[in-house]
Structure 1
Amino acid sequence: MAAVQMTRDEFIAAIAPYAVADMRNSGVLASITLAQAALESAWGRSAPGNNLFGIKGAGQTQTTKEFVSGQWITIQDGFRVYESWEGSIRDHSRFLTENSRYARAGFFECCKRLDYAGAANALQKAGYATDPTYAQKLTGIIEANGFSKLDKEAAEPMLDKGVANTVIETWIGPAWKKANEAGNEDEKKYMNWLANELRKASGQPLQ
């Protein structure tokens, strides 16, 4: 999924499950992941190479703006490339974890407390972006879209992934196949919904 045209709601629906699942694995707040992705990619409309977070590296060269010495300047720089938005989200958390300056700035301590405002300030303090209003923008996006509820969802105890997949594969999958063979669309939709509820409860992306 590179640069595409979609609404904000469509963008949120596309990546929210990945953000929640990633928070359960990495500890990075889902609200921060969503807000950064929205801000850095203009809600999915500008994500060359599926790079939702503007993480620099090898793979492609892009024109970008940075705030230097009190003014905005335009530069060209290298940025990472991913096969999918899910891959970009996973690498974003890995990037924050592997760069110790974020831990030193208190980012992960704020994440443990579900303190998205503190986490946003820690990102700015650690130099994630040169924009002097970066934390303020992230907090505004989170509050305007109610992203903090996803942090609470991800922090709740979840169903074991193996149990969820066993139920899906042993009972729901065969039931969906039987409904498909019978041409029962309502039953198929119900089975698909049920499987996705189990995936959601076990921190897995929806299908």
Structure 2
Amino acid sequence: MSLVLFLGIVALAWTRQWRTASIWSDYPVNADNVFVGLYILWLLVETPVAGRDADSEGKKTSDSATCLVYGTAQALTFLSALWFPSVWHSPNIAHFFGMGLFAAGGCCRLWAIRTLGKFYSHLVRTIPRHTIVDSGPYRFVRHPAYAGMLIANAGICIAFLNAVTLCIFLFALVPAILLRIRIEERVLFAIEGYSHFAQNRKRLFPGIW
């Protein structure tokens, strides 16, 4: 899926370049292209995780097919943002706020992935001697990687605002993430120490949920 997403992004970014080049003619760089570059960099950074997950194929997982739904919704959010015309007809603060939000969400997610190390996976599964990690962003919430994903994609919606992308984000990606958290926690609560870890931490955002 990562390869298909990469090729789709490149193709749509090329098409968008010709459709919206005039929007950025008064700026030193095309911010849409910068956004695409940041997204591709994000994909490349997470590629080793996907490769590690591939080694788990055939082993027992508890995904209930949510990995595919979640990944598809994530891909469609950005692909639709590149394809459908934005309500913004000229550069404004929303473009740069959205890009900043995307960068913040991506950094939060990568911080979480780095903190978990070998325990992080795109699949819902446990590994031998699985222990609870409560450092880094896990000091504040139980699922900072998902929080980062939501923040990053909210940034995409703001920067490339259109009805299709917003609907995919709200009605496909957000529900997919919430469902994965429910399924994931069925597995996590079976690990010794997770109940204590979860007592004083919200799932995604401190003081909210």
Q: TM exceeds 0.5?
A: no
Q: Give TM class, smaller chain.
A: under 0.3
If you compute each CA radius of gyration, which structure gives the higher value, 1 or 2?
A: 1
| TM superposition score normalised by structure 1 | 0.26
Which one has the bigger helix percentage? 2
Which one has the bigger strand percentage? 1
